[in-house]
Structure 1
Amino acid sequence: MSSNPKLHKFFHRTPIQIRFNDIDQLSHVTNSVYQQYFDLGRLKYFTEVLQEKMNWEVEGLVLASITIDYIIPIRMWDNIEVLSKIYEIGNKSLKMRQEIFNNTTGEVAAVSKAVMVCFSNAAGKSIPIPHRWRELILSFEKDLQL
């Protein structure tokens, strides 16, 4: 599937509560907090889509790469949510795109792209993505093509 963001349709949304301590001296959400918002969206995505809690000792997903593009500032009283989508899945890894969407302004505030690798802590190495996860992701991401 193309990684062109205009082609992505998000099926997963995570509302985010902005906390007072998320705000910097400029009255914006500080940049390091964006990562926490993306983490919350990613964890909720996998818990809901995979219908289980990951047991990283046996099989889990670990971040191999992540980028964040900051587009517009988020302010204290903005209503925001994290949109999450897996847009590519391989044998041992997958790619996720996330956006922080500002419902107050109607704009995308930030975009994150991540590569995650399936990993067994007990084995100490990467492992193939479990078939049950692959099927659940493909079922959820209706427009994901292999």
Structure 2
Amino acid sequence: MTKPAKIHVRFADCDMMGHVNNAVYLSYFEMARMHYFEQVIDKKWDWKKQGIVLVKNTVEYMGPVFLHDEPQIFVKVSHVGNKSFTMIYDLQVNGITKTKGESVLVCFDFLANKTAEVYPEMKEALTKIS
């Protein structure tokens, strides 16, 4: 299991109601995703040659997050296919789930400008942890 991503809520993240704006959660999920990859993918990974692109996000809002909250996002991979994989997010404040999310990512070779099979090293890392 990987360590959760600790998120710092910025004043600019909050809307007039005093809670984190719905659009900001996608940025939080992106930060959590990169935190996850830092733990499971080799630091020498060439993201330009063996990259990924985001093709779908879903977010389920279950409760508000406020400025002085200290959210943590737990990330895991729920599915690995031929060219894509699915990541799920559980954003918690004090152990209570406030938001859930899911992303579908496709492996992409930016040098060849085309989709790619899930890279063997990545597939091994993703399936070993989750």
Does residue 128 in structure 1 map to residue 117 in structure 2?
yes
The whole-number CA distance in structure 2 between the counterparts of 1:32 and 1:57 is 27
Work out the percentage of aligned pairs sharing the same amino acid: 31
Q: Read off the aligned partner of 2:27 and give its amino acid letter.
A: Q
Which residue does 1:116 correspond to in 2? 105
Does residue 42 in structure 1 map to residue 30 in structure 2?
no
Per-residue deviation, 1:54: 4.8
In structure 2, runs of 5+ residues without a counterpart are none
The whole-number CA distance in structure 2 between the counterparts of 1:79 and 1:35 is 17
From 1, 4, 16, the equivalent of 1:25 is: 16
Q: SS of the residue aligned with 2:23? A: helix
| CA RMSD in angstroms, aligned pairs only | 1.5
CA contact (8 A) 2:80 2:127 kept: no
From 2, 16, 24, the equivalent of 2:7 is: 16
TM, length-normalised to structure 2:
0.92
- 130-139 vs 26-35, which deviates more? 130-139
The whole-number CA distance in structure 2 between the counterparts of 1:95 and 1:75 is 28
CA contact (8 A) 2:65 2:98 kept: yes
The whole-number CA distance in structure 1 between the counterparts of 2:39 and 2:117 is 21
Q: SS of the residue aligned with 2:125? A: helix
CA contact (8 A) 1:12 1:85 kept: no
After superposing on structure 2, the runs of 4+ consecutive aligned residues of structure 1 that deviate more than 4 Å are none
Q: Across the two proteins, how many residue pairs are aligned to each other?
A: 130
In structure 1, runs of 5+ residues without a counterpart are 1-9, 142-146
Per-residue deviation, 1:56: 3.5
- Mapping of 1:1-146 within 5 angstroms? 11-52=2-43, 54-103=45-94, 106-141=95-130
